[in-house]
């Protein structure tokens, strides 16, 4: 029987397999950030252990970093301590670190691919659930907790039970204005936030093949929002073209050898998945979440649903609770919902292509009066590239704040937060209660919908303007 | 303690503002910080103070990978969570730090929840050795692989366990393709 893509990569990284035990997997790349690592480094110190492979480990500061005045001392002492702890730990243990202010600093899931460190067939882990992003290159990439971070630092391996397999096939062509973000929001709306639990999801089909690497990363990024361990897409010419020439990509004869191996990374004909879901791309529209979990969404043409319309009582209650928190009434057209803030950023949608798409929508128009709009590039390099193209000036002229790279308002650990009751159109990945600040209300959207919403003052598509 | 909500995410269990700490302790006070402001929230109910078992709705622990969520629950005194299902990373994190996650059928969890709501003195017993949850005359088995069970019972150091296989790791390392990326070091 054939094997799926995830099984092939998984099997190739097994260091040790024993009956009744999880597989011991070799980790090709371990990404580290300030929030989930200090206790892990402490653990190493206490046990007198070292980092086994500093050359396969890379750290950056992203979650907690300010996005304004980054050349000044950090006002929040607790944040400052965590950021300096990362630098000190990296120095002590010999790990390369891109701290705040470094030209290569950025959101950990943006910098890996950008540097060419994320490659097909690898196992990649990071103390962050959106590590699934890297699966867009045909890598098995998943998030881990702090104890596991310590384990990987010490052993370069991770003990994991083999996950199940799931295929999500998106056939057909996307309509104009429907983006990768809408594909994944549409998938989550269909399979639910625990629809992928226990599995690695492989995204397949013509609509996925036609996505750029940036788009594929957006899709794989939100696999965790469907409960999956990881998301993957088989590498192809789009992948190789993206990788070629990046700082850590192989060159010359090594590139040719690598390509040979990468081309074999696809699910075999006839391999069976534990679960398969098919989505017709033509049915997808721009999505807007109305609730407090990423599956609670509607197309932009829809209305806020009546909780009674959900079959099962538990879902009715969850929906009713979400609408209370979000202060929305059933039947309200999505386009009639006004927002106080717009956030374009996060590891889901803050790559150069996302910023270009948002900028194209603005096209000389202005942000609605009284609305706060933020653009936070995914990395210092994305920021520099956007500035070379003049996007910063374009955003600023329109009334957007142009910020330095980091997670920022995606999780509200730094000073970029929503006030209680404020409503935000956000290109990030989580709309949990208080995610962007206590009492804040988040609606997940694509970069083009976010940009159009900033101008209209309520949810809108570029065509509405 | 009964927490009758589904899809409880780790942003609720411990909000991001608490994650700036570099220590492993001090998270208990942030447990369910925002829900706790509601006096009617179950964590504020003195009858359940000191409970070591949390009963929760399905898909408990979804969202961010923050192990801090488990540390916060532990610091508050919980040693086990019973639910119909758990998010993958959360369950993994629990196993790593000795928190028991007992997965039971939804109707069994509901019955337990109702029983504990009706009688807060009801004792619920989790036997990791037997892999069972018992209360009110009912006993339910929950899935627990031998490996995790052994580590829960014996409290073994995971890194120490893996390092017993250091030779396998070195042998594997020697076979890795030359084109795989390396970072220059600090
Ligand atoms: S941008 Fe948001 S989701 Fe992505 S790593 Fe940062 S905090 Fe996590």
The DSSP letter of residue A430 is -
- In whole angstroms, what is the distance from residue A434 CA to residue A441 CA? 7
**Whole-angstrom distance, CA of residue A87 vs CA of residue A463:** 46
Q: Using the mean position of ligand 1's atoms as its centre, give its distance from the Cα of residue A223 in Å.
A: 13
At A416-442, the pLDDT tens digits run 999 999 999 999 999 999 999 999 999
> What is the distance between the alpha carbons of residues B48 and A436, in angstroms, rounded to a whole number?
31
The conformational region for residue A327 under phi > 0 = left, psi -120 to 50 = alpha, else beta, is left
User: Average of pLDDT values for A156-168?
Assistant: 97
Residue A127 near residue A90 (C-beta atoms within 8 A): no
Say how far apart CA A416 and CA A395 lie, in whole Å: 18
**Which whole number is the average pLDDT over B64-90?**
96
In the structure, what pLDDT confidence band is assigned to residue B186 with cuts at 50, 70 and 90?
Answer: low
Name the residue ranges covered by the structural domains of chain B. Answer: 2-155
Question: Pick from B34, B87, B186: which is nearest to A438 by CB?
Answer: B34
Inter-chain residue contact A145 with B96, CB threshold 8 Å: yes
Instruction: Measure A145 CA to ligand 1 centroid, in angstroms.
Output: 15
Say which of A29, A58, A434 has its CB closest to residue B34: A434
Which residue's CA is the closest to the ligand 1 atom numbered 6?
Answer: A407
Cβ-Cβ contacts under 8 Å for A68 (sequence gap 6 or more): A403, A404, A415
Q: What pLDDT does A186 receive?
A: 98
Residue whose pair of structure tokens reads 């045909």 in the numeric block:
A138
Pick from A157, A153, A158: nearest CA to A92: A153
Separation between Cα atoms, residue A235 and residue A320, nearest integer Å: 42
* Radius of gyration, CA atoms only, chain B: 19
Give me A199's structure tokens.
Answer: 């599995």
Q: Using CA of residue A300, residue A301, residue A307, residue A313, what is the dihedral sign?
A: negative
* Mean model confidence pLDDT for chain A: 97
Question: In the structure, what pLDDT confidence band is assigned to residue A1 with cuts at 50, 70 and 90?
Answer: confident
Which DSSP category does A458 fall into?
B
Q: How far is CA A361 from CA A366, A398, A412, A454, in A?
A: 11, 11, 26, 10
Residue of B nearest to A420 (CA): B34
Banded model confidence at residue A106, pLDDT cuts 50, 70, 90: very high
Tokens at A327, concatenated: 């202060």
Query: Which tokens go with A348?
Result: 């889901």
Q: Let me know: does A423 contact A337? Beta carbons within 8 Å.
A: yes
Nearest residue in chain B measured CA to CA from A91: B186
Give the SS3 label for residue A338.
strand
d(CA A423, CA A344): 14
Strand A199-204 vs strand A164-171: parallel, antiparallel, or unpaired?
parallel
Q: What is the pLDDT of residues A237-268, one digit of tens each?
A: 999 999 999 999 999 999 999 999 999 999 99
User: DSSP character for A104?
Assistant: T
Q: Which residues line ligand 1 (CB under 6 A)?
A: A 62-63, 107, 109, 128, 130, 346-347, 407, 410-411, 428-429
- The pLDDT, as a whole number, for residue B185 is 66
Half-sphere exposure of B186 (CA within 13 A, CB side): 11
CA distances (Å), origin A236, targets A209, A323, A355: 8, 42, 25
CA distance A273 to chain B (A): 19
Higher pLDDT: A208 or A412? It is A208
Owner of token pair 């002590």: A92
Q: Helices (H), strands (E): how many in chain B?
A: 7, 7
State the Cα torsion A52-A56-A59-A62 to the nearest 10°.
-140
Residues of chain A with Cβ-Cβ distance to B180 below 8 Å are 28, 119, 122
Q: How far is the CA of A394 from the centre of ligand 1 (A)?
A: 25
Radius of gyration of chain A (CA): 21
Strand partners, A141: A124
Spatial separation of the C-alpha atoms in residues B171 and B46, rounded to whole Å: 56
Cross-chain CB nearest to B92 (options A36, A145, A412): A145
Q: Considering the entire predicted model, what is its pTM?
A: 0.96
∠ Cα A420 A423 A426 (to 5°): 120
CA dihedral defined by A404, A99, A430, B5, rounded to 10 degrees? -140
What is the edge-to-edge ordering of all strands in the sheet holding B53-56?
A: B2-3, B53-56, B80-83, B100-103
Could you write out the DSSP letters of every residue in A135-165? GGGT-EEEE--HHHHHHHHHHSEEEEPPPEE
Longest Cα–Cα distance in chain A = 64
Note the pLDDT of residue A265. Answer: 98
Gap from CA of A390 to ligand 1 centroid (Å)? 26
B2-155 belongs to CATH 3.20.19.10 = yes
The percentage of chain A sitting over the pLDDT mark of 90, rounded to a whole number, equals 95
How many helices (H) and strands (E) chain A has is answered by: 15, 19
Q: How many CA within 13 A on the CB side of residue B72? A: 23
**B163 has pLDDT over 90:** yes
DSSP letter for each residue of B15-84: -GGGGG--SS---GGGTTTTGGGSTTSGGG-GGGTT--EEEE-SSBTBS---THHHHHHHHHT--EEEES
Q: Which atom of ligand 1 is nearest to the CA of A413?
A: 7
Q: Report whether A59 contacts A96 (CB < 8 A).
A: yes
Mutate to test the interface with B, among A48, A108, A145, A262 (most CBs of B within 10 A): A145
Average pLDDT in the B43-61 region?
96
């Amino acid at each position: 029987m054939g094997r799926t893509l995830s099984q092939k990569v998984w099997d190739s990284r097994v260091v040790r397999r024993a009956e009744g035990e999880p597989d011991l997997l070799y980790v090709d790349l371990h990404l580290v950030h300030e929030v989930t690592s200090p206790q892990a480094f402490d653990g190493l110190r206490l046990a007198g252990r070292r980092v086994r492979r500093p050359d396969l480990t890379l750290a950056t500061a992203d979650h907690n970093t300010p996005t304004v005045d980054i050349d000044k001392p950090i006002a929040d002492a607790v944040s400052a301590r965590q950021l300096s702890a990362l630098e000190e730990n990296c120095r002590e243990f010999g790990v390369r670190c891109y701290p705040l202010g470094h030209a290569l600093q950025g959101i950990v899931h943006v910098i890996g691919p950008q540097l060419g460190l994320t490659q097909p067939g690898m196992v990649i882990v990071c103390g962050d659930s959106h590590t699934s992003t890297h699966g867009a290159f045909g890598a098995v990439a998943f998030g881990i907790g702090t104890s596991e971070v310590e384990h990987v630092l010490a052993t370069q391996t991770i003990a994991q039970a083999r996950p199940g397999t799931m295929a999500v096939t998106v056939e057909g062509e996307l309509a104009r204005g429907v983006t990768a973000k809408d594909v994944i929001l549409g998938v989550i709306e269909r399979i639910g936030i625990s629809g992928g639990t226990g599995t690695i999801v492989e995204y397949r089909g013509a609509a996925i093949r036609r996505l750029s690497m940036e788009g594929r990363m957006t899709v794989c990024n939100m696999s965790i929002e469907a409960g999956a361990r990881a998301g993957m897409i088989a590498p192809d010419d789009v992948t190789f073209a993206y990788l070629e020439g990046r700082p850590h990509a192989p060159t010359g004869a090594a590139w040719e050898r690598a390509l040979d191996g990468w081309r074999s990374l696809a699910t075999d004909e006839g391999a069976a998945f534990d679960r398969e879901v098919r989505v017709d791309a033509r049915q997808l529209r721009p999505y807007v979440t109305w609730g407090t979990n990423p599956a609670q969404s509607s197309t932009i043409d829809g209305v806020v649903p009546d909780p009674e319309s959900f079959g099962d009582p538990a879902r009715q209650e969850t929906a009713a609770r979400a609408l209370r928190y979000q202060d929305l009434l059933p039947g309200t057209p999505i386009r009639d919902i006004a927002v106080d803030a717009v956030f374009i950023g996060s590891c889901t949608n803050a790559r150069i292509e996302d910023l270009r798409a948002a900028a194209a929508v603005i096209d000389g128009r202005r942000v609605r009066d009284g609305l706060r709009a933020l653009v936070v590039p995914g990395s210092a390099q994305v920021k520099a590239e956007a500035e070379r193209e003049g996007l910063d000036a374009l955003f600023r002229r329109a009334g957007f704040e142009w910020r330095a790279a980091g997670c920022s308002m995606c999780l509200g650990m730094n000073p970029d937060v929503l006030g209680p009751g404020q409503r935000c159109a956000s290109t990030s990945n989580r709309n949990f209660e208080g995610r962007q600040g206590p009492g804040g209300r988040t609606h997940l959207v694509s970069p083009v919908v976010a940009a159009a919403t900033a101008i209209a003052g309520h949810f809108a598509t570029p065509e509405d303007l | 303690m009964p927490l009758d909500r589904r899809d409880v995410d780790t942003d609720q269990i411990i909000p991001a503002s608490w994650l700036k700490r570099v220590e492993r302790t001090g998270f208990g006070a942030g447990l369910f910080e925002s829900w706790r402001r509601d006096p009617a929230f179950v964590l504020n109910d003195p009858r359940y103070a000191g409970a070591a078992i949390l009963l929760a709705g399905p898909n408990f622990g979804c969202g961010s990978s923050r192990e801090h969520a488990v540390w916060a629950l532990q610091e508050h005194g919980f040693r086990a969570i019973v639910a119909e299902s758990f998010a993958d990373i959360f369950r993994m994190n629990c196993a790593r730090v000795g928190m028991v996650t007992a997965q039971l059928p939804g109707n069994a969890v509901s019955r337990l929840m109702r029983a504990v709501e009706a009688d807060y003195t009801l004792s619920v017993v989790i036997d990791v050795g037997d892999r069972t949850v018992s209360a009110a005359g009912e006993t339910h088995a929950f899935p627990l692989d031998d490996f995790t069970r052994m580590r829960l019972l014996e409290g073994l150091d995971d890194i120490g366990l893996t390092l017993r296989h250091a030779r396998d790791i070195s042998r594997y390392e020697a076979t890795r393709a030359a084109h795989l990326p390396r970072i220059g070091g600090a």
